[in-house]
Amino acid sequence: MSARPDGRTPRQLRPIEIIQDYTKWAEGSVLCCFGDTKVLCNATVEERVPGWMRDQGTGWVTGEYEMLPRATDRRSQREARQGRVGGRTHEISRLLGRSLRAAIDLKRLGERSITLDCDVIQADGGTRTASITGAWVAMALAVRRLQKQGIIGRDVITRQVAAVSLGVLDGEVWLDLDYAEDQKADTDLNLVMVDGGGIVEIQGTAEGVPFTRPELTEILDIGAEGIQTLMQHQRDALAGSDR
Amino acid sequence: MSARPDGRTPRQLRPIEIIQDYTKWAEGSVLCCFGDTKVLCNATVEERVPGWMRDQGTGWVTGEYEMLPRATDRRSQREARQGRVGGRTHEISRLLGRSLRAAIDLKRLGERSITLDCDVIQADGGTRTASITGAWVAMALAVRRLQKQGIIGRDVITRQVAAVSLGVLDGEVWLDLDYAEDQKADTDLNLVMVDGGGIVEIQGTAEGVPFTRPELTEILDIGAEGIQTLMQHQRDALAGSDR
Amino acid sequence: MSARPDGRTPRQLRPIEIIQDYTKWAEGSVLCCFGDTKVLCNATVEERVPGWMRDQGTGWVTGEYEMLPRATDRRSQREARQGRVGGRTHEISRLLGRSLRAAIDLKRLGERSITLDCDVIQADGGTRTASITGAWVAMALAVRRLQKQGIIGRDVITRQVAAVSLGVLDGEVWLDLDYAEDQKADTDLNLVMVDGGGIVEIQGTAEGVPFTRPELTEILDIGAEGIQTLMQHQRDALAGSDR
Amino acid sequence: MSARPDGRTPRQLRPIEIIQDYTKWAEGSVLCCFGDTKVLCNATVEERVPGWMRDQGTGWVTGEYEMLPRATDRRSQREARQGRVGGRTHEISRLLGRSLRAAIDLKRLGERSITLDCDVIQADGGTRTASITGAWVAMALAVRRLQKQGIIGRDVITRQVAAVSLGVLDGEVWLDLDYAEDQKADTDLNLVMVDGGGIVEIQGTAEGVPFTRPELTEILDIGAEGIQTLMQHQRDALAGSDR
Amino acid sequence: MSARPDGRTPRQLRPIEIIQDYTKWAEGSVLCCFGDTKVLCNATVEERVPGWMRDQGTGWVTGEYEMLPRATDRRSQREARQGRVGGRTHEISRLLGRSLRAAIDLKRLGERSITLDCDVIQADGGTRTASITGAWVAMALAVRRLQKQGIIGRDVITRQVAAVSLGVLDGEVWLDLDYAEDQKADTDLNLVMVDGGGIVEIQGTAEGVPFTRPELTEILDIGAEGIQTLMQHQRDALAGSDR
Amino acid sequence: MSARPDGRTPRQLRPIEIIQDYTKWAEGSVLCCFGDTKVLCNATVEERVPGWMRDQGTGWVTGEYEMLPRATDRRSQREARQGRVGGRTHEISRLLGRSLRAAIDLKRLGERSITLDCDVIQADGGTRTASITGAWVAMALAVRRLQKQGIIGRDVITRQVAAVSLGVLDGEVWLDLDYAEDQKADTDLNLVMVDGGGIVEIQGTAEGVPFTRPELTEILDIGAEGIQTLMQHQRDALAGSDR
């Protein structure tokens, strides 16, 4: 059994930090750090919904993910300069929106929308899972502010949502891969769960060797445990914010 | 336990048809039908690889998925007219490429590329799984042609790959959802497997209620069985082509 | 006088087939085949008109043409991937719309629009003329459906429209060129006519040697005759549909 | 028989003016005026050809047409601001390139390209025919300059090319329509011919009533005559330039 | 002290010509020439304002600048073909709008907009300053027309605005650089002023050696003097127009 | 004389902080804060130059500026989603590149490029001047790293460059405007200077009342003084980094 490069055990998360109220304008704002991966998650509340949803008395939650050009080891070109949003960016933005919508009662939100902007300041693997985990806190902060202002009532946030990545390397399952580990892993799986143990999203890809049913079982066991820990960090961050 | 609208049992596929040699120019061409879902899968072989892969003696396989504007109940605008490829299209195209690359030895393919174009002529749910299942046959036909011409050697196709969708509806797992079923399902999961039972991709989304570990276990059992049947159809289609 | 590669006489069309009700969602749908050229023509009816036409009590008919990437001998890049509609595609789409509008009474259609999507599944010369010829049948099927539903009245379709290509090769005029013939021809001319012999569109281009007035006269004679035959096929297709 | 609004006879051109050497940088430059329609035609010579033509020892001629935003009665949005070239602009640019290529020996031009930029300063109908007619002079001026510099030899320009528009109005054929006439005409036809009477392009569209064979015959007779006059103006302009 | 290539003194403008009523459709139209730099400036009046300004009872003035592809020594690609407006074009268009808005009372203009289209027919340095100087005349002509029609009242044009470029070359300040001078200058500064001597815009860039405070003082002295002369040309052009 | 909302004197900067080594991948990285304005400035070194500069033995420095969507009070749409870089973004990016190139010896840099990415995390006025001021430190850090690695020699950085904004409000000149002040100011001027007092860029715009020569003199005096202070902060930041 091979040791992880940074000395972690297979089931161990990197140091997690969720810094609340990171910027001043957004209704909810956190910097979510999974080790060296740092994602700025800003929640914006707007008193309107997309055209196709109007006059239905229900709200909308959407996500937008983007990497700063030098978030990574090598600089990548800005998508605005290329004149289009890339496939990977689209894919993660859509995952982000779906995951967050699983945590909120859109009827109770009322005809307004929340946009979660997740901008990766520094990337070291797991940017999409850090985005989802941080965005939930940003969304909860924004909802709490609306509640304090008396704009919306209780029980708008219905569940807690967090996400973690897992990999299979030489038959062993590792939790919360950093970039170097992710590059070597045969399988890369992202798991999004709610409190109580339900699964919201599972996205697993075998890069090299297909993965087996027993491996998938172990992935789910370890992932569920990691997500429990992340949810504790989310609750701590919410408690620590005074906005 | 609710009956399926078209009388199928939960574990039953729709009528499957893989028509080989459907168009004349492509190196491999099939029309893959899962019930009323009809996808034209064309494989194109080109004697070059993308710039970033050049001079490495290895090949490349990529996929492009698109829906004809009136493949669906309501007409959708052409992506070319909108000036950009949509997020969903990007996402499925990338899934298609990854799935097919799991079935081929890129070294043995040599410095050439195979593009799988999957164009949905008529959609009724499961267009991405029909695309993957049909594209594997188109790719295998194209490789066989190269082998007959003596351009490449044996064992280029290393595995058989097929895909199926599954849904959870009121706690019951259904195989190969049509569009009406897909609209009602709480969970929508796409499973891509190789012969031998390994998993290449799993993508599950809870639209409403999160899904549980026992439900996921049942999904995987039923899905694996359905994929066995699809693989038999693939082999029959390959055997029936005289190109 | 040189013989045509496939043994046809100069004034002979390729085998024509117009398969009605080819897909299930569109209000009118045919597969129009001129030899190996196969175009899927779908008519979509929508209860709205473009912004600049609103509240004038009149309808609109428009066309959109596109080639599937592997409709041809060599794969072409998707226009959506290039982020723009190409010049040739624009040109044919506009021709398609103009030609079909010559066959319908827009006032009687009422404030609704019909879009004719012509997607080339397989190309072997004459894709624009097959598109026009097939689109007229698709439009007529869609109008008949509206009439059966009592939504519109009689005499909405005012004329029959069909189109054919012609070429001049070494001074000889040939009807309905396939791709190989088209490549060799000095002149390439597309003719769109209505029943009764009126001309709706004439588009002739001398690729090499300019063409003469006597050649143009012969082109028009042979073209008119070919269009008579195509119109018989259109009427047969309409009669054969039970929608 | 209805009189033309400006008193012209049916077969009469508007006042034609081809001002040579209109701008200073282009290798050939004219302002071509058909009445109030004014098109700046600039020919640019570059010592390279498009990628797909390289190393074949042959040249290339291409055209680009565009309207200034306030060339017309109402301001139109710039295509650059819309992020794409419009269908009509594409169509005319392609016609321009094809027409000019009919007038030049690309082999003798050698591996260099000539781009004809036709920018409409003021529009009053017939902008595409004024563009073709003026662009031929600009191209001939540019070729003459290359010949004077000893870069290319003789007989590169092989033919004279000019164009004119015609319309059918209440059964009467009118030559060289201005904008007001064009709006009223049933048929709008553009004719491109070479000296000697050969036809390079014919593009006729029935906007309302289809046109008949006898009308087409009259269109061709009157058009050929008008083009003779335009060619005399072209030769005068060439003779009058001292570059 | 080095002499200027064309014999001008440091404080001397090139020959200035502002030709009024240059095209016929625009509400105000001039060709503004600073030596060989020729810019067509058209003012369009529209009875609507951008969405974000509606129902505020105030008007809007905006500018759009573009170079024709062969306005310069070497042909540049059309921005419409590149699918985007370039950075330099955007920058000058914005400068143009800001400068012209300094000369008009938007309240008195009422809820309508004036667009100044400045298209460079021929470039030889100073295209942005010729654009501003010419656009002011075009705007004034358009406003005068509205006043003659009784649509707006007096005192809509509140100030006269003109612009000039200056350069520092080997420590010496030169006025109104042509292209060759501009290429050699260490500093390139554009100055926009109103009558009375107020500054509306100053944009100075040191290409090589930074410029000093004393140089800036001299630039401002010489520039103010040049702008006086330009304003006399503007007044003459306005007086000469009979529209 | 009106007091500034936050109690500053007219000539007083906001609290300045330049945090070095803010992210880990970039060759030089700082977070530059002017009060609540926070810009992440990353310098990327690449061993290649743009195509038009190749094989000239000289390097290149370029800048790219962008605002995160919720850097401001109201969320702005991502430019990548709009499919194009906005005019303001282009303008500031170009200013950034020009300013930084004034501080470096491109010959001594050798055939490599430095890209300065300035991403505004939080905006409160003066984002472009904070970008320039921070980017100079990031560039100097990147160059020092290349020097430590022995890749380039001494004296590549030739000057220190910093920038500050100034405004005129009711005839009084204020230094380093925050967003609220910027909204009220009549004139908005950005000044970029080098150590020694030379001016690299001056960009002044009168939003309402044009500014006078005496006001400009005062702006330059106060700006020069503020830039002295900023340069001390830059030197402190450089000294404090151990990379």
Give me the total of CB pairs closer than 8 Å, taking one residue from chain A and one from chain B: 93
Output the CA–CA distances (angstroms, integers) from residue E137 to B37, F17, F199, in the order listed.
Answer: 64, 48, 33
Helix (H), strand (E) at residue B115: strand B113-122
Average pLDDT of the residues of chain D: 94
> CA-to-CA distance for D113 and D105, rounded, in angstroms?
12
Interface test with D, best of C203, C218, C225 (most D CBs within 10 A): C203
Averaged over E20-49, what is the pLDDT?
Answer: 97
Residue A206 has pLDDT above 70, yes or no: yes
> CA-to-CA distance for A53 and D64, rounded, in angstroms?
43
Predicted pLDDT of residue D104? 97
Which phi and psi (to 5°) does residue B167 adopt? -140, 155
Of E200, E210, E220, nearest to F200 by CB-CB distance is E210
Residue E91 CB contacts under 8 Å (≥ 6 apart), including other chains: F87, F90, F91, F94
> CA-to-CA distance for F44 and F61, rounded, in angstroms?
10
Where do we find the tokens 């009827």?
Answer: A107
The tens digit of pLDDT for each residue in C198-222 reads: 999 999 999 878 999 999 999 999 9
CB contact under 8 A, A200 and B206: yes
Predicted pLDDT of residue F87? 83
Q: Answer yes or no: are the C-beta atoms of F134 and F81 closer than 8 Å.
A: no
* Long-range Cβ contacts of D227-233 (<8 Å, 24+ apart): D227/D162, D227/D163, D227/D164, D227/D191, D227/D193, D229/D13, D229/D16, D230/D13, D230/D16, D230/D133, D230/D162, D230/D163, D230/D164, D231/D160, D231/D162, D231/D195, D233/D16, D233/D17, D233/D18, D233/D133
Instruction: Measure the CA dihedral F8/F11/F15/F20, to 10°.
Output: 170
Amino acid code (one letter) for C165: S
Residue A208 has pLDDT above 90, yes or no: no
Predicted pLDDT of residue A2? 63
DSSP-based three-state secondary structure for E188? strand
Question: For residue C24, what are its two tokens?
Answer: 């299930």
Helix (H), strand (E) at residue E226: helix E213-240
**pLDDT band at B2, cuts 50/70/90?**
low
Beta strands in E72-131 (DSSP E): 113-122
> CA-to-CA distance for B94 and B101, rounded, in angstroms?
11
The tens digit of pLDDT for each residue in D101-157 reads: 999 999 999 999 999 999 999 999 999 999 999 999 999 999 999 999 999 999 999
**pLDDT band at F74, cuts 50/70/90?**
very high
Residue C241 has pLDDT above 80, yes or no: no
Residue E1 has pLDDT above 60, yes or no: no
Per mean pLDDT, which range of B66-75, C153-162, E49-58, F105-114 is the poorest? Answer: E49-58
Residue D243 has pLDDT above 90, yes or no: no
* DSSP result, B160-227: -EEEEEEEEETTEEEES--HHHHHH-SEEEEEEEETTS-EEEEEEEESSSPBPHHHHHHHHHHHHHHH
Averaged over B168-190, what is the pLDDT?
Answer: 93
Of D42, D66, D70, nearest to E42 by CB-CB distance is D70
Strand ordering across the sheet containing E37-46: E16-20, E28-34, E37-46, E113-122, E60-67
Where do we find the tokens 């070729």?
Answer: D143
Q: Answer yes or no: are the C-beta atoms of F40 and F54 closer than 8 Å.
A: no
Q: Which residues in C lie closer than 8 A to residue B69 (C-beta atoms)? A: 42, 44, 64, 115, 117
Residue B33 has pLDDT above 70, yes or no: yes
Predicted pLDDT of residue B1? 52
Residues forming a β-bridge with A169: A172
B32 HSE (CA, 13 A, CB side):
34
**pLDDT band at E243, cuts 50/70/90?**
low
> CA-to-CA distance for D53 and A56, rounded, in angstroms?
58
> CA-to-CA distance for A149 and C167, rounded, in angstroms?
75
Cα A56 to its chain centre, rounded Å, is 28
Q: Contact partners of C by the rule of 3+ C-beta pairs under 8 A?
A: B, D
> CA-to-CA distance for A189 and A215, rounded, in angstroms?
11
Which phi and psi (to 5°) does residue F74 adopt? -110, 145
Strand ordering across the sheet containing B161-169: A172-175, A161-169, A187-194, A199-206, B199-206, B187-194, B161-169, B172-175
Cα C197 to its chain centre, rounded Å, is 17
- Other Cβ atoms within 10 Å of B33 Cβ, number: 20
Question: For residue C205, what are its two tokens?
Answer: 């281009």
Residue D7 has pLDDT above 70, yes or no: yes
Question: For residue C212, what are its two tokens?
Answer: 């003469």
Averaged over B97-112, what is the pLDDT?
Answer: 96
Averaged over E222-237, what is the pLDDT?
Answer: 97
Output the CA–CA distances (angstroms, integers) from residue A125 to A129, A176, C204, in the order listed.
Answer: 9, 8, 59
Residue B205 CB contacts under 8 Å (≥ 6 apart), including other chains: A98, A200, A201, B187, B188, B189
> CA-to-CA distance for A42 and D106, rounded, in angstroms?
60
The tens digit of pLDDT for each residue in A118-162 reads: 999 999 999 999 999 999 999 999 999 999 999 999 999 999 999
The tens digit of pLDDT for each residue in E96-154 reads: 999 999 999 999 999 999 999 999 999 999 999 999 999 999 999 999 999 999 999 99
> CA-to-CA distance for A152 and A150, rounded, in angstroms?
6
> CA-to-CA distance for B77 and B99, rounded, in angstroms?
28
**pLDDT band at F1, cuts 50/70/90?**
low
Averaged over E161-185, what is the pLDDT?
Answer: 94
Residue A42 has pLDDT above 60, yes or no: yes
Average pLDDT of the residues of chain A: 94
DSSP-based three-state secondary structure for F71? coil
Average pLDDT of the residues of chain C: 94
Q: Answer yes or no: are the C-beta atoms of F223 and F203 closer than 8 Å.
A: no
Q: Which comes out higher in pLDDT, residue B186 or C122?
A: C122
**pLDDT band at A43, cuts 50/70/90?**
very high
CB contact under 8 A, F42 and A70: yes
Q: Answer yes or no: are the C-beta atoms of A16 and A175 closer than 8 Å.
A: no
- The 3-class secondary structure across F190-234, one letter per residue, is EEEEECCCCEEEEEEEECCCCECHHHHHHHHHHHHHHHHHHHHHH
**pLDDT band at B85, cuts 50/70/90?**
confident
Q: Which of 51-110 (B) contact A at CB < 8 A?
A: 84-88, 90-91, 93-94, 98, 102
Residue A11 has pLDDT above 90, yes or no: yes
**Inter-axis angle of helices B127-148 and B87-101, to 10 degrees?**
40
Q: Which residues in D lie closer than 8 A to residue C90 (C-beta atoms)? A: 86-87, 90-91
Average pLDDT of the residues of chain B: 94
From B196's Cα to the closest Cα of chain C, the distance in A is 33
Quick check: A24 contacting F, CB < 8 Å?
A: yes
Give, as one character, the DSSP assignment of residue E97.
H
The tens digit of pLDDT for each residue in D54-93 reads: 889 899 999 999 999 999 999 999 988 888 888 899 999 9
From A191's Cα to the closest Cα of chain B, the distance in A is 10
Predicted pLDDT of residue F14? 98
Predicted pLDDT of residue D74? 96
Question: For residue B2, what are its two tokens?
Answer: 């609710």
Quick check: F197 contacting E, CB < 8 Å?
A: yes
Predicted pLDDT of residue F213? 93
Residue A243 has pLDDT above 80, yes or no: no
Q: Answer yes or no: are the C-beta atoms of E15 and E177 closer than 8 Å.
A: no
* DSSP result, E32-85: EEETTEEEEEEEEEES---GGGTTSS--EEEEEEEE-TTSSSS----HHHHTS-
* Cα-only R_g, chain B: 18
Q: Answer yes or no: are the C-beta atoms of C39 and C32 closer than 8 Å.
A: yes
Averaged over B80-84, what is the pLDDT?
Answer: 83
**pLDDT band at B211, cuts 50/70/90?**
very high
> CA-to-CA distance for D204 and D187, rounded, in angstroms?
7
Averaged over F153-170, what is the pLDDT?
Answer: 95
Residue B83 has pLDDT above 90, yes or no: no
The tens digit of pLDDT for each residue in A56-86 reads: 989 999 999 999 999 999 999 999 888 888 8
**pLDDT band at C53, cuts 50/70/90?**
confident
Predicted pLDDT of residue D115? 98
Residue F98 has pLDDT above 90, yes or no: yes
Handedness of CA D74, D80, D86, D91 (dihedral sign): positive
Give me the total of CB pairs closer than 8 Å, taking one residue from chain B and one from chain C: 89
Instruction: Residue B131: name the closest of B223, B60, B232, B30 by CA.
Output: B30
Q: Answer yes or no: are the C-beta atoms of C50 and C106 closer than 8 Å.
A: no
DSSP-based three-state secondary structure for D19? strand
Interface test with C, best of D101, D200, D209 (most C CBs within 10 A): D200
**pLDDT band at F81, cuts 50/70/90?**
confident
Give, as one character, the DSSP assignment of residue C39.
E
Is ipTM beyond 0.85? yes
Predicted pLDDT of residue F124? 97
Predicted pLDDT of residue E84? 80
Residue F75 has pLDDT above 80, yes or no: yes
> CA-to-CA distance for A166 and A164, rounded, in angstroms?
7
Averaged over B152-175, what is the pLDDT?
Answer: 95
Instruction: Residue E136: name the closest of E220, E178, E194 by CA.
Output: E194
Question: For residue D144, what are its two tokens?
Answer: 């003459």
Give, as one character, the DSSP assignment of residue A211.
B
Output the CA–CA distances (angstroms, integers) from residue C97 to B80, C94, C122, in the order listed.
Answer: 18, 5, 21
Helix segments in B58-154, DSSP class H = 79-82, 87-101, 106-109, 127-148
Residue A25 has pLDDT above 80, yes or no: yes
> CA-to-CA distance for F60 and F73, rounded, in angstroms?
35
User: Parallel, antiparallel, or unpaired: how do β-strands E37-46 and E28-34 relate?
Assistant: antiparallel
Exposed e or buried b per residue across B59-69, where buried means at least 16 C-beta atoms within 10 angstroms of its C-beta: bbbbbbbbbbb
Predicted pLDDT of residue D120? 98
Predicted pLDDT of residue B171? 86
The tens digit of pLDDT for each residue in E58-96 reads: 999 999 999 999 999 999 999 988 888 888 999 999 999
**What is the end-to-end Cα distance of chain D in Å, rounded?**
47
Quick check: F121 contacting E, CB < 8 Å?
A: no
Q: Which residues in F lie closer than 8 A to residue A88 (C-beta atoms)? A: none
